[in-house]
Amino acid sequence: MRIKFNNNYIKDLASILFFPIVFSLVYNFIVYKDFNFLARAKEKSVHTTQSEFKEVTIEEAQNYFSQAILIDARSEENYLQGHIPNSINIPTKNFDNYLDKVFELPQDSLLIIYCEGIHCNLSHLLAEKLKTFGFKNIWIMYEGIEGWKQKNLPIEK
């Protein structure tokens, strides 16, 4: 059985492959200013699997609440809908708008950051940003507000 390829099929196949490849190359060059895909993928996989911040449970974090600053990394809207009592809001996505709060934080204080929960990465992203401002004692309460609610702990609005 012999398959005959028509020129139209080859042209269609080439156009189907050509445009996504060109688009992805242009996108990567605009966003990352290079085409170093493998290095970026390796860096991202190492970064997501090895956190340099101490990850703690809700119970572990609660033991330090009196000597720590609790930070909610979620959006202001989510924070206003309900947050852990005595936490402050520094949204990861609008970080630059909250620099005044960041500069008010004592550099040597323990910061415990939380977000939605185990499927949310906002607390890690905020920790990275705070690290660039010289904060060294940063913990991630990885169960987040989701775990807090599941344990029927108090919520403040």
11 domain-assigned: yes
CA distance 157 to 143: 20
What local confidence, expressed as pLDDT, does residue 46 receive?
41
Residues 76 and 110 in one domain: yes
What domain range includes position 126?
54-150
CA distance 110 to 138: 6
Other CB atoms within a 10 A radius of the CB of residue 146 amount to: 15
CA distance 129 to 41: 21
Place of tokens 């206003």: 80
What local confidence, expressed as pLDDT, does residue 45 receive?
42
Residues 65 and 131 in one domain: yes
Query: Which stretches of 8-156 are assigned E, i.e. beta strand?
Result: 54-56, 68-72, 88-89, 110-114, 138-141
User: Along the 157 residues of the chain, how does pLDDT read in single tens digits?
Assistant: 566 666 777 777 777 877 777 777 777 667 666 656 666 555 554 444 446 899 999 999 999 999 999 999 999 999 999 999 999 999 999 999 999 999 999 999 999 999 999 889 999 999 999 999 999 999 999 999 999 999 999 999 9
Residues 74 and 32 in one domain: no
* Number of independent structural domains in the chain: 2
